[in-house]
Structure 1
Amino acid sequence: MDPRFFFRYTILEDGSLGNLFWSDAMSRCDYRYFGDVISFDSTYRTNSYHRPLVIFVGVNNHTKTTIFGFGLLVDETVDTYTWILQTFLQAIHGKCPISVVTDGDKAMSKAIRLVMPTAVRRLCSWHLERNVQTNVGDSGFTQAYTHLMLTYMTELEFESEWLKVIDRFGLQHNE
């Protein structure tokens, strides 16, 4: 019913479904206008197929989430991520995003470097915040860190504020 619906899949040696990618016409159109920055994330085996689900997401001109495509993967290896990224580029006519926001997964990062070498990779603020809380364990520091991360300032202003926060929480020796 959707003549611009795009999908690709692989078949495993046993004849079962391997990787699957799909994107409908509206998602592909939205990417043309709002695909400068994408979030490339996978949820690990939380679906009924026990496979990683990849979602390509952006933000439209109304600051609303827009989906550019989905994938179900057999695993989270560099080869599999390379396949899904190459397939995504086919779906969106080769237009590489300017920035890709990820969770920092090493295989994902390597695949992005291989397939989208001009894209700037950024870590997701939610993951950064969670790592700060896990590694420092002080909710006050986490709040100060988040404030610094989300507030626009020059590099010089950031460096100055960062040193104040480190000093305030006594973290001079915390790597």
Structure 2
Amino acid sequence: MAKLSIYLDRENSIWKVRKVILEHNHELTLRVMVNMIPKFRQMSDAAKAHIDDMHGYGVPTSKILGYMARIAGGYSLLGFMKKEAYNYIDKMRRSKIVDGDSNAAVVYLEGKAAVNPMAMARYNLTEDGMLANMFWVDGISRVDYQYFGDIVAFDSIYKKNEYNRPLVIFSSSNNHKKTTIFGFGLVLNETIASYTWMLENLSKVMCNKALSVVVTNGDDAMIAAMKKVFPKTTHRLCAWHLQKNVTSNGREQCFMRYSLSGYMRTWRLTNLSSNGLSC
């Protein structure tokens, strides 16, 4: 293996060569293969500009690379790999989202908060600058929470937005038995970390008001986050999800005999008998 050893002559303050071995015990990398070595693999500013221009006109990435390869004399002479070009385009697309829709949403919500001091918006970013989680609430919702926020439904089953992000809704019932919304949120993913961030911000925005009961759809990550943020709060499952689970996993004939009132009456009798009680 080729080797060059040097040392510093401190007396004369110059570098000197101690040992030189010019012989190689293997063939040198061919010029056309140098771009495969990570240290030498990079996209030039000219290549990036070329890709940006053609991609801006709607040219597919595969055709862009094919065209650039013909100019360079082959894919091996591009100076970078196909994967790096696709990663670069994906990174640019993500940055446009950061500066586009998500930035517009943040500016809009912060503008609302500037007009209404009771309105609040919270968000955080990923390591590469993408919008991770967002939570927002208006003044009326914050007031309602103080009156009707003892029991809160914590739901995130909706993914109807363009980016397929889980939409979190905090809701309950008011004194007129009408649904009241306490806040909304968009989470990056359905993980304990995302839900914990959402619940922590809900608690801060709502002046750390203690919850008596949190109702969820039974998602493990939601339950774990709830126990972490509100350890003294009771957890309950949503009746709608229970009914859906029972009807989808049970035989239809089992439910045809009962009306809702009849089912509830049988349920109560079953609970009473199991506890050794009578009506």
Q: TM (normalized to structure 2)?
A: 0.53
Q: Which whole-Å deviations, capped at 9, do the CAs of 1:24-66 have from their partners, x for residues lacking one? A: 1100000000001110000242212210000000110011111
3-state SS in 2 of match to 1:87: helix
More helix by share: 2
3-state SS in 2 of match to 1:84: helix
3-state SS in 2 of match to 1:129: helix
Q: Which residue of 1 aligns with 2:215?
A: 101
Whole-angstrom CA distance in 1 between matches of 2:273 and 2:202: 40
- In the alignment, which of 89, 100, 121 is matched to residue 235 of structure 2? 121
Q: What aligned pairs does 1:154-169 form with structure 2 within 5 A after superposition?
A: 157-159=269-271
Whole-angstrom CA distance in 1 between matches of 2:165 and 2:122: 17
For structure 2, the 5+ residue unaligned runs are 1-114, 275-279
Q: Which amino acid aligns with 2:169?
A: I
Shift of 1:120: 0.8
CA change 1:42–1:15 in 2 (3 A) is: same
Task: Count how many residue pairs are aligned between Structure 1 and Structure 2.
Answer: 160
3-state SS in 1 of match to 2:142: helix
Whole-angstrom CA distance in 1 between matches of 2:215 and 2:262: 18
Q: Which residue of 1 aligns with 2:161?
A: 47
Shift of 1:145: 9.0
| Alignment partner of 1:38 is 2:122 | no
Shift of 1:6: 1.2
CA change 1:100–1:147 in 2 (3 A) is: farther
Of residues 57-66 and 133-142 in structure 1, the stretch that sits farther from structure 2 once superposed is: 133-142
- In the alignment, which of 152, 174, 180 is matched to residue 60 of structure 1? 174
Whole-angstrom CA distance in 2 between matches of 1:44 and 1:58: 17
Shift of 1:150: 5.4
CA change 1:82–1:147 in 2 (3 A) is: farther
Shift of 1:70: 0.5
Q: Which amino acid aligns with 1:4?
A: M
Could you tell me whether the CA contact under 8 Å between 1:148 and 1:158 is conserved in 2? no
Whole-angstrom CA distance in 2 between matches of 1:104 and 1:38: 14
Whole-angstrom CA distance in 2 between matches of 1:117 and 1:4: 27
Whole-angstrom CA distance in 2 between matches of 1:147 and 1:124: 19
CA RMSD of the aligned region, Å? 2.5
For structure 1, the 5+ residue unaligned runs are 163-175
**Structure (1 or 2) with the larger CA radius of gyration:** 2
Q: What aligned pairs does 1:113-152 form with structure 2 within 5 A after superposition?
A: 113-138=227-252, 140-141=254-255, 144=258, 147=261
CA change 1:64–1:16 in 2 (3 A) is: same
Q: Which whole-Å deviations, capped at 9, do the CAs of 1:52-101 have from their partners, x for residues lacking one? A: 00000011001111100110000010111111000000010101210011
CA change 1:94–1:145 in 2 (3 A) is: farther
Q: Which residue of 2 aligns with 1:77?
A: 191
Whole-angstrom CA distance in 2 between matches of 1:98 and 1:150: 25
Whole-angstrom CA distance in 2 between matches of 1:10 and 1:66: 26
Whole-angstrom CA distance in 1 between matches of 2:189 and 2:257: 35
Whole-angstrom CA distance in 1 between matches of 2:259 and 2:246: 8
- Greater relative contact order: 1 or 2 (C-alpha under 8 angstroms, separation 6 or more)? 1
Q: Which residue of 2 aligns with 1:20?
A: 134
CA change 1:14–1:139 in 2 (3 A) is: farther
Whole-angstrom CA distance in 1 between matches of 2:259 and 2:147: 32
Whole-angstrom CA distance in 2 between matches of 1:144 and 1:161: 19
CA change 1:69–1:93 in 2 (3 A) is: same
